[in-house]
Structure formats: structure tokens, C-alpha cells
Amino acid sequence: MSGQQVINGLFLGGIYALFALGYTLVFGVLDILNLAHAAVFMLAAFVALTLVSAAHANLLVALPVAVVFAGLLGLVLERIAFRPLRGRSDSNISGLISSLAMAAIFEAIAHEIWGPNTARFPFDTLPDQQLQILGGVVSRLQLTIIGVSLGMFLVLWWLVQRTRLGREIRAVAESPRAARVLGVNVDRAIAWAFFISSALGGAAGVLFALSFNSVSPDMGRGVELKGLAVIILGGMGSMTGAVVAGFALGLTEVLVVSHLGGSYRDAVSFAALFLILVLRPRGLFGAPSLREA
């Protein structure tokens, strides 16, 4: 494995990890898969693109704005698609479907505003200087992407492990009822979890759009299933696991593409996912539990 491949894998893996962290945060708290996560990913990318190309904003301004926008979308999602279902016995299946409906609505809105075609960033907005590191060539853009991912991991870790809000979110994940008894505002904690989760998904979307320089209403589809693979590999609800598995998937994909060819890339990740589920259902970092369902 050459240095170049390691760099490419790390930078792809960083995006997968960011996306999966958001996924796994909501799953950890609510035990619900939010299938609209990929649509938020896509909308944030479009917002960043519009800011850069229409409003001529600097990328360093557009990125945070798009991330906050994605977070707000998360609040909308929580309010419309998840809160009304809370307490219903089939909420993990009905939540799956209501989030799917929201994904369809978001995609239709993106279609309506930006059209079905792939859009690209204006020519001179992406930093494209090349640097030599580890015997490979890295663009400043790739470094920025890796840097932003690492920065967001640290912020998330601090939020969840070191702040009062993080403690509240973790308490709700453990048991909403016990958390309520102890005076935690459960609704507020869940809303924040959605805000953070969607902001991470949005950041992943902007970085993904920048690295492949393309934005389209269906860009979330491919990443959606890979995000699932990552959170399973890492163990549902485990944030360390999501980061490690995200990077592992990125590196594996780069390896498979260079040794077996591009068409086997996805097959290998899903075969690995399937094996992990059969052999070690709780994932690499997950804790065992008696009753998952």
C-alpha cells in the first residue's frame, strides 16, 4: 500500500466517519435509523454550493453556514417525523418510514430548486495547490477535508463526554424514563442530538461535494448504505467504532479499487458487513445486549 493510497483512503474515510457519526448518534439515543440523514447530507452540499457560486462567499464562510443549516434541518426532522411517533410501540419501523418520507420531500425540494443535473463549484473556488507528504501528493483541499473532519471529531467528543448537554444525551440514550425522573429535559436532549447529528451529516455532505466536485439531488444514495455499513462495523451507537470503521472502510475501498477494480468496491464492503453481522452482530466496538428489538 503506497503513501498515496493511504492518504486517499484517509480522506475518503474521514467523510464516511463524519456521516456515520451523525447516523450513530441518533441511533444510540432513539434506536431509530434516520433514513433522511443522506438527504440532509445532500441539501447541505447544495446550500454550500449556492453560497459559493451565487453569493460569492468564501468557502470558510459557506461551510459553517451550511453545517448550521443542516443542524436546523435536523430539528425540523425531529419535530415533524420523529416526535409524533415517540411512544408508539412500532416506532422503530414507523420512524424508518417517516424519515424516508422526509427524505423524499427533501429530494423533491432540491429537484425543484436546483434541478436534476449535477452541479459543480466555480472553477477558482477550490484550493488546488499540491503538497508532497509521505511520498504521495496531497492537495490543500484534501488536507482541509481531513482537518475539518478531525476538528469535528474533537468537538463532538468534547460535547458528548465533557458537557452537561452530552451527559444528558447519554442519559437519554441509556433510558429515557430514568433520565426524565432525574430531571433531564428529554425532548430538549433529543432535539439537540438531532441538531448535532444532522450538522455532522451536513459537514460530510459539503466535504464530499468538494472532494468530488459534484452536487446532485441523488448524491446521498450511495453514501446512505455505506454509512449503515460503517455504523454496523463499528457497533451501533458506538462513536469510537464509527470513526475507526469509517477510516477502515475508506482505506479498504481504495485498496480494493487498486487491486480488484472499481466494480468490486461496493461488493467487498457489503460482504464484509454481512460477515460481521453474522459472526459478531454487535460490531467491533458495540456492547452486547439481551434484547435489541
Partner 1 sequence: MESLAELYSTYQSTLAYVGLNALLALSVYATLSCGQLALSSAGFAAIGAYAASILTLNFHVAFPFALLAAVVLPMIVAVPLGLPVLRIRGVFLAIATVAFGEVVRLGLVNWDYVNGAQGLVAIPQKTEVWMVYVAVALALLLFARLRGSKWGFALEAIREDEPAARTMGIHTTVYKLAMLVVGAALAGLAGALEAHFSFMVAPNGFAFGRVVDMLVFAVVGGTVAYYGPVVGAAFLTILPEALRVIAPLLGIEPGPLRALVNGVVLLLVILFLPNGIVSLPSRLAARRKARSAAA
Distance CA 68, CA 13 (A): 23
175: which 3 cell numbers? 433510558
111 binds partner 1 (CB under 8 A): yes
Q: 92 or 139: whose CB is closer to partner 1?
A: 92
Q: Coil, helix or strand for 139?
A: strand
Q: How far is the CB of 49 from partner 1 (least distance, A)?
A: 18
Interface with partner 1 includes 287 (CB under 8 A)?
A: no
Q: Grid coordinates 463526554 are at which residue?
A: 161
Chosen residue from 11, 18, 51, 107 binding partner 1 by CB under 8 A: 107
Instruction: Please report which helix (H) or strand (E) contains residue 132, including its range.
Output: strand 130-133
CB 15 within 8 A of CB 208: yes
- Shortest gap between Cβ of 171 and partner 1 (angstroms)? 22
Which residues on neighbouring strands pair with residue 131, listed in sequence order?
A: 138
Q: Tell me the closest approach of the beta carbon of residue 255 to partner 1, in angstroms.
A: 17
Using CA atoms, how far apart are residues 148 and 163, in angstroms rounded to an integer? 21
**Single-letter residue type at 117:** N
**Does residue number 257 form part of the binding site for partner 1 (CB under 8 A)?**
no
Q: Does 273 bind partner 1 (CB under 8 A)?
A: yes
At closest approach, how far in Å is the CB of 291 from partner 1?
Answer: 7
26 binds partner 1 (CB under 8 A): no
Cβ–Cβ < 8 Å for 239, 25 = yes
Interface segment toward partner 1; rule CB under 8 A; list 95-103, 122-130, 158-166, 183-191: 95-103
* CB closer to partner 1 out of 180 and 265: 265
54-62, 91-99, 163-171, 197-205 -> range binding partner 1 (CB under 8 A): 91-99
Among residues 255, 259, 262, the alpha carbon closest in space to that of 222 is found at: 262
- Judged by CB under 8 A, the residue of 100, 126, 159, 255 near partner 1 is 100
Using CB under 8 A, pick the residue from 33, 141, 152, 190 that binds partner 1: 33
Q: Does 117 bind partner 1 (CB under 8 A)?
A: no
Which contacts qualify for 133-136: CB closer than 8 Å, 24 or more apart?
133/3, 133/7, 134/3, 134/6, 134/7, 135/2, 135/3, 135/4, 136/2, 136/3, 136/4, 136/5, 136/6, 136/7
Q: How far apart are CA 264 and CA 257, in angstroms?
A: 7
Out of 60, 177, 263, 288, the only residue in the binding site for partner 1 (CB under 8 A) is 263
Nearest to partner 1 of 95, 166 (CB atom): 95
Q: Which residue ranges make up the site for partner 1 (CB under 8 A)? A: 27, 31, 33, 35, 80-81, 84-85, 88, 90, 92-94, 96-98, 100-105, 107-109, 111-112, 221, 224-225, 228-229, 232, 236, 263-264, 266-267, 270-271, 273-274, 277-278, 281, 291-293
